[in-house]
Structure 1
Amino acid sequence: MVLKIGILGAARVAPMAIVEPAARREDVEIVAIAAARPGKAEAFARAHNIPRFYRSYEDVIADSEVDVIYNALPPHSHARFSILALEAGKHVLCEKPFAMSGPEARTMVAAGRRCGRRIIEAFHDRYHPIFLYLLELVASGRLGRISSLKGVFNHSIGPDGGEFRHIPEFGGGALMDLGCYPVHWCRSLLNEEPSIVAARCKMSDTGVDEEMNAWLRFPSGVTAEIETRMSPSWDMHARFEVAAEHGTVILINSLLPHRGHSVLETINGKFREFTIAGGTTFDYQLGAIVTAIRSGSPMPTEGTDPIGNMDTIDAIYQAAGVMRDGVEQLIS
Structure 2
Amino acid sequence: MLKMGIMSTANVSRSFIEVLKNSTTIKITAVASRHLEKAQSFAEQFSIENAYASYQELLDDPQLDAVYIPLPNSLHAEWVIKAAQAKKHILCEKPIALTVEDVKQMYEQAILNNVLLMEGFPYKFQPQTILMLKMIQEGAIGEISQIYADFGFTVDDAENNIRLKPELGGGVMWDAGAYPVSIIRAITGQNPSEIMAHGKFNDQDLDIAVAAMLRFENGITAQLNCNFNAAPHRYVRIIGSKGIIAAGYNNMTKPNTAFIEIKKGLDWNYELEKIEVPYGVGLFFEAEAFADHIQNYTKEKQVLMMNESIDNTLTILNILDVIKK
Given the two structures, how large is their TM-score scaled by the length of structure 2?
0.92
1:294 aligns with 2:295: yes
2:272 is the alignment partner of 1:275: no
Q: Distance in 1 between matches of 2:25 and 2:137?
A: 33
Q: Which residue of 1 aligns with 2:313?
A: 310
Using the TM superposition, give the Cα deviation of residue 107 of structure 1 relative to its aligned residue in structure 2, in angstroms.
Answer: 1.5
* Structure 1 residue 286 displacement after superposition: 1.5
What is residue 9 of structure 1 aligned with on the other side? 8
Match of 1:204 in 2: 202
Cα shift at 1:183: 0.6
Distance 2:288 2:36 in 1: 33
Query: What letter matches 2:113 in structure 1?
Result: C
Q: Please say if residues 4 and 30 of structure 2, whose CA atoms lie closer than 8 Å, have aligned partners that are also in contact.
A: yes
Q: CA RMSD in A?
A: 1.9
Instruction: Output one character per residue of 1:120-165: Cα deviation in whole Å (capped at 9) or x when no partner.
Output: 0000110111101111101111210000101100111113442111
Q: Which is further off, 138-147 or 24-33?
A: 24-33
Q: CA distance change for structure 1 residues 197 and 223 in 2, over 3 Å: closer, same or farther?
A: same
Q: Residue in 2 aligned with 1:128? A: 126
Partner of residue 330, structure 1:
none
Partner of 1:59: 57
Written as runs of structure 1 = structure 2, the 5 A alignment for 1:110-129 is: 110-129=108-127
What SS class does the counterpart of residue 272 from structure 2 fall into? strand
Structure 2 counterpart of 1:163, from 154, 157, 161: 161
Equivalent residue, structure 1, for 2:232: 236
The alpha carbon displacement at 1:103 in A equals 2.0
C-alpha distance in 2, partners of 1:215/1:187? 13
Judged with a 3 Å threshold, the aligned counterparts in structure 2 of structure 1 residues 188 and 101 are, in CA distance, closer, same or farther, namely same
1:269-305 CA-partner distances (Å, limit 9, x unpaired): 4521232113211221122111211122537983211
Alignment of 1:171-186 (within 5 A): 171-186=169-184
SS at match of 1:159: coil
The residue identity in structure 1 corresponding to 2:130 is L
SS for the counterpart of 1:175 is coil
Q: Which of 27, 31, 34 is equivalent to 2:32?
A: 34
Question: Who is 2:84 aligned against?
Answer: 86
Partner of 1:221: 219
- 1:329 maps to none
How many residues align structurally?
Answer: 318
Letter in structure 2 aligned against 1:143: I
Residue by residue over 1:241-277, the C-alpha shift from the partner in whole angstroms, topping out at 9 and shown as x without a partner, is 1011011112122663834544221011452123211
Contact 1:8 1:71 in 2 (8 A): yes
Give the corresponding residue for 2:260. 263
| Residue identity in the other structure for 1:13 | V
Q: Identity of paired residues, percent?
A: 25
How far apart, CA to CA, are the structure 2 residues paired with 1:255 and 1:197?
29
Instruction: Give me the whole-angstrom Cα distance separating, in 2, the residues matched to 1:299 and 1:138.
Output: 25
Q: Which amino acid aligns with 2:11?
A: R
Q: 2-side partners of 1:160 and 1:271: how far apart?
A: 41
DSSP 3-state at the match of 1:162: coil
Pick closer, same or farther for the CA change 1:299–1:146 going to 2, 3 Å.
Answer: farther
Identify unmatched segments of 5+ residues in structure 2: none
Contact 2:116 2:297 in 1 (8 A): no
Output the TM-score relative to the length of structure 1: 0.91
Alpha-carbon contact 1:6-1:66 (below 8 Å) kept:
yes
